Amino acid sequence: MTAFRLSLVAALFAAFTAATSAVAAKRDNTIRFAYDQVPENVDQYFNNVRIGFIIGQQVWDTLIYRDPKTNEYKPQLATSWTWVNDKTLELELRRGVKFHNGEEFDADDVVYTLNFVSKPESRVVTQQNVDWIERAEKLDKYKVRIVTKRPFPAAIEYLAGPVVIYPHEYYAKVGPQGMNEHPVGSGSYRVVEHAIGKFIRLERNADYFRDSAKSQPKVDKIEIRFIPDAQTRVAEMLAGGLDMIMSVAPDQAQQLKSVPHLQVKSGETMRYVFLQFNTTEATPVPQLRDLRVRKAVMYAIDREAMIKSIVGEGARLLHTVCFPSQFGCTDAGAPRYAYDPAHAKQLLAEAGFPDGFEIDLYAYRERNQTEAIIGYLRAVGIKANLRFMQYPAMRDAMRGGKAPIIHQTWGSFSVNDVSAATPVFHKFTADDLNRDAEVRDLLEQGNSAVDPNTRKQAYAKALVLIAERLYAIPLYSLPTYYVAAKDLDFTAYPDELPRFWEMSWK
């Protein structure tokens, strides 16, 4: 029996209060949503947690929109776009769009935003989303040119995802700190209150432009609360204090299916899970520089059993560190490692550690999965100590060289291209803990080659090398369970993005 157990009696006891509260939310045309992470900054370029991306897609707009059902690129703030050559993209901009503070949208906003965030001195957290931009130029009031540092075929995908556009006058005045405190965008919802670290409240943008590829928002108000504790989020759902949560543990989701006033939806997402090793000369645990030790960790973990007993429906075993739907992702030629604890012990002995060793394992979500991994490691003699924290703290420990092994998940900012995944951790970025020049060069070729087949071949070679040298252990794709009020109409998309502008009360 798990530590957290729902009883039907308790659920029924809460049902009346919950139903009353849900009716109130429905009557007020409000959705109350909670997430387990706290964004360090809701400025899209200064946070890299999922809840920041979720908020950003409601508040800001992108130049291009990718339809999540068809994957078709559609006009958004740009009405059309043309590649002039391999490194030059020209875009015609939409007229008549206004930001939430009344500023008129035009080329100055695009040029200022892209030039600011792409400068290394701006120190944006999400460098990988903008480091391909050399500069943006204004051609006229409603036409811009984007020049890339190198050929970057995935540019359209990024412009349809994490690269949002800010009002240049406001952003030049307040900067990232001001944008965090009082966010201003052009999106479906505008921010009316932000209690940093606690909640953010949104209201429907009544002036949202009618030709948007997004539908006009149907719900008037969205309240997003930051609640790290899983039991608290579930208890709030039972009591009717919330209308929707996501990333619910599979065992909890199964129990919540029996609660009359709730609905549960699930499915595989683009998020993949992996263990990341620090193998540099500065690693705090030198044992990890031995390939036999890294293989021992791989053989020690029963990934298939974890999928069946902990991870949940929709997950699949992975052999390379990317998500299968992403352009360039493949596991062809990559080695397969089966669960073999006896072989893990043998490898540790051969490496000179017959009694194992002690190590800190860092993590920030899916704690039950991390604890299972720790159990597997201890069974072969590796005494792993859990260091569980919020993502920004874990990221800082990793980038500071303090974390020897990290239980990571990565959603690629919902970018369906390997350039948003594997290179983030293996192309000499701040998050690269291996620094393999051969891998780096192959990933760079995959990022910048114009020919699709050349891109695929380069990525395939890099992915095989990472798997053979075990710089990271690919575990599985991660399904997400949503729990929502029974009368809330919504679609669960694989990109882990709740599109509040599409939602409505039945």
Span 395-454, pLDDT tens digits: 999 999 999 999 999 999 999 999 999 999 999 999 999 999 999 999 999 999 999 999
Question: For residue 96, with 0-12 CB atoms within 10 Å meaning exposed, 13-18 middle and 19 or more buried, which class applies?
Answer: exposed
pLDDT of the residue at 8: 45
pTM of the predicted model as reported, rounded to 2 decimal places: 0.88
Q: What is the pLDDT of residues 96-148, one digit of tens each?
A: 999 999 999 999 999 999 999 999 999 999 999 999 999 999 999 999 999 99
Residue 4 tokens, joined: 């957290």
User: How far, in Å, CA of 211 to CA of 79, rounded?
Assistant: 10
**What is the 3-state secondary structure of 430-493?**
CCCCCCCHHHHHHHHHHHHCCCHHHHHHHHHHHHHHHHHHCCEEEEEEEEEEEEEECCEECCCC
pLDDT at 190: 98
Please tell me the predicted confidence (pLDDT) of residue 62: 98
Q: Are 159 and 167 in contact (CB under 8 A)?
A: no
Q: Region 176-199: what's the mean pLDDT? A: 97
Task: Specify the CATH class of 268-479 in words.
Answer: alpha beta
**Mean pLDDT rounded to a whole number for the chain:** 94
What pLDDT shows up at residue 5? 47
What are the two backbone dihedrals, phi and then psi, of residue 233, each rounded to the nearest 5 degrees?
A: -60, -45
Dihedral sign, Cα of residue 276, residue 279, residue 282, residue 287 = positive
Evaluate if residue 3 carries a pLDDT over 70.
no
CB atoms within 10 A of CB 438: 11
pLDDT band at 12 (very low <50, low <70, confident <90, very high): very low
pLDDT band at 22 (very low <50, low <70, confident <90, very high): low
Give the span between the Cα atoms of 422 and 272, in whole angstroms.
11
Q: What percent of the chain has pLDDT over 70?
A: 95
Range with lowest mean pLDDT among 17-21, 282-286, 309-313, 495-499? 17-21
How many residues make up the chain in this entry?
Answer: 506
What amino acid occupies position 171?
Answer: Y
- Position 312 pLDDT exceeds 80: yes
Location of structure tokens 């006229």: 140
Gap between the Cα atoms of 11 and 239, Å rounded: 8
Whole-number pLDDT of residue 313? 85
Q: What is the dihedral of CA 233, 237, 243, 246, to 10 degrees?
A: 50
As a CATH number, domain 43-184 is 3.90.76.10
Q: What is the pLDDT of residues 189-214, one digit of tens each?
A: 999 999 999 999 999 999 999 999 99
- The structure tokens listed for 53 are 């991306």
Q: How far apart, in whole angstroms, are the C-alpha atoms of residue 179 and residue 172?
A: 10
Q: Helix, strand, or coil here: 201?
A: strand
Reduced to 3 states (helix: H, G, I; strand: E, B; else coil), residue 313 is coil
Cα 451 versus chain centre, distance: 28
pLDDT band at 342 (very low <50, low <70, confident <90, very high): very high
Q: Is the pLDDT of residue 4 over 60?
A: no
**What would the mean pLDDT of 150-178 be, rounded to a whole number?**
97
Quick one: pLDDT band at residue 15, thresholds 50, 70, 90? low
Between the alpha carbon of residue 471 and those of residues 280, 391, 474, the distances in Å are: 10, 21, 10
Q: What is the pLDDT of residue 499?
A: 97
State the amino acid at position 424 in one-letter form.
V
Q: In the structure encoding, which two tokens stand for residue 257, read together?
A: 């299916």
Rg (CA), the chain: 23
Position 36 pLDDT exceeds 90: yes
Q: What angle do CA 495, 54, 92 make, to 5 degrees?
A: 85
- What is the pLDDT confidence band of residue 305, given thresholds at 50, 70 and 90? very high
Q: In one letter, which amino acid is 447? A: N
What whole-number distance in Å separates Cα of residue 496 and Cα of residue 483? 14
- Provide the angle, in degrees to the nearest 10, between the axes of the packed helices 8-27 and 230-239: 70
The Cα–Cα gap between 426 and 424 comes to 6
Strands (E), 215-292: 221-226, 244-245, 262-277
Higher pLDDT pick, 27 / 65: 65
Ordered by start, the domain boundaries in the chain are 43-184, 268-479
Contact predicate 110/118, CB 8 Å: no
For residue 249, what are the contacts with CB-CB under 8 A and spacing of at least 6? 4, 230, 368, 481
Kindly compute the dihedral angle of the four CA atoms of residues 111, 116, 118, 123, in this order, to the nearest 10 degrees: -170
> Which residue has tokens 């990232």?
176
Q: List Cα–Cα distances, 146 to 55, 116, 417, in angstroms.
A: 26, 13, 20
